[in-house]
């Protein structure tokens, strides 16, 4: 009920913003190539949908593959850093450093090294989404309830048992938080990687639209990216609700 009300309030506010936008564009007679009205964007969206769909599908595929690779790498790194404190001290600062390199700068380099194929794109997506998973998973593993750990110890549980029965399930909610952040990043990563050269994808569609001053199409692409991020987020949240049990119910 509360959630519905809150969601309703957000929708109403968004709607008001769109109406304001529409009114300003019409009233000030802002030209189409500078800022199209929301109604024009929606119309364009429906008109170009048949051409656009293959691009969307290409981006979805790229995003999902990239996210899976990035998340798996992040998970494995987190486990390594958790189990081996020496590796942690050696590598963790480097990981933080890696996040300070802007993707946009890195991307052309990757293309020089690996060409225009799938590989550099997947590297870019993995790079933007592994880090949140590493941080979240490590935090989750580190914060395992000491009382529960103590019980496992006193019962004579092996390190493996403690990990599989206690630490990993305990870290699951944190892992999902990381996954949600990574998911939104992964769509962005996919589009950026497509700008740099691809045959299909929302990024490609955007580049074409931009170079022919079809600002309405640019907006169609932007809104599609937002919707994709939200959908991915929702899927992960659904997964979380089915997998994480016995925790306090969130509002």
CA–CA dist 116, 133 (Å, integer): 27
CB of 143 to other proteins, least distance (A): 13
CB of 157 to other proteins, least distance (A): 5
Output 58 or 152, the one with its CB closest to other proteins: 152
Q: What does each C-alpha distance from 25 to 1, 17, 99, 169 come to in angstroms?
A: 36, 12, 39, 52
Output 105 or 147, the one with its CB closest to other proteins: 147
Largest pairwise CA distance in the chain: 76
Contacts (CB under 8 A) with other proteins, residues 111-170: 145, 147-148, 150-157, 161, 165-166, 169
- Shortest CA distance to 188 belongs to which of 127, 111, 142, 234? 127
Q: What does each C-alpha distance from 18 to 8, 23, 59, 214 come to in angstroms?
A: 15, 9, 27, 20
Q: What is the DSSP string of 162-198?
A: IIIIIIHHHHHHHHHHHHHHHHHHHHHHHHHHHHTS-
CB of 88 to other proteins, least distance (A): 24
Output 89 or 150, the one with its CB closest to other proteins: 150
CB of 142 to other proteins, least distance (A): 17
CB of 244 to other proteins, least distance (A): 7
Binding mask 216-245 for other proteins (x = CB under 8 A): ----------------------------xx
Q: Does 212 bind other proteins (CB under 8 A)?
A: no
Output 98 or 153, the one with its CB closest to other proteins: 153
Contacts (CB under 8 A) with other proteins, residues 162-201: 165-166, 169, 172
Q: Determine contact, residues 183/239, Cβ cutoff 8 Å.
A: no
Q: Does 73 bind other proteins (CB under 8 A)?
A: no
Q: Strand ranges (DSSP E) for the chain?
A: none
Four-residue CA torsion sign, 104, 106, 109, 114: negative
Q: Determine contact, residues 131/178, Cβ cutoff 8 Å.
A: no
How many residues form the binding site for other proteins (CB under 8 A)? 21
Tokens at 2, concatenated? 């509360």
CB of 145 to other proteins, least distance (A): 8
Contacting residues toward other proteins, per CB under 8 A: 145, 147-148, 150-157, 161, 165-166, 169, 172, 244-248
């Amino acid at each position: 009920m509360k959630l519905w009300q809150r969601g309703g309030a957000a929708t109403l506010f968004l709607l008001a913003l769109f109406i304001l936008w529409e009114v300003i564009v019409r009233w000030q007679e802002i030209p189409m190539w500078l800022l199209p009205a929301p109604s024009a964007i929606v119309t364009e969206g429906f008109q170009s949908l048949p051409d656009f769909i293959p691009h969307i599908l290409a981006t979805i595929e790229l995003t999902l593959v990239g996210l899976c690779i990035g998340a798996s790498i992040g998970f494995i790194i987190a486990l390594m850093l958790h189990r081996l404190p020496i590796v942690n001290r050696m590598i963790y600062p480097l990981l933080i450093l890696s996040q300070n390199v802007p993707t946009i700068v890195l991307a052309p380099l990757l293309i020089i090294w690996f060409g225009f194929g799938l590989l550099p794109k997947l590297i870019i997506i993995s790079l933007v989404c592994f880090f949140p998973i590493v941080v979240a998973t490590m935090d989750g593993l580190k914060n395992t309830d000491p009382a529960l750990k103590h019980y496992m110890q006193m019962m004579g549980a092996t390190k493996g048992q403690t990990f599989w029965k206690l630490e990993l399930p305990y870290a699951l909610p944190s892992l999902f938080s990381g996954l949600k952040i990574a998911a939104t990043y992964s769509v962005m990563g996919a589009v950026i990687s497509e700008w740099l050269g691809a045959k299909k994808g929302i990024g490609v569609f955007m580049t074409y639209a931009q170079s022919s001053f079809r600002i309405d199409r640019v907006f169609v692409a932007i809104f599609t990216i937002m919707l994709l991020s939200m959908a991915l987020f929702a899927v992960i949240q659904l997964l979380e609700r089915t997998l994480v049990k016995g925790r306090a119910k969130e509002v």
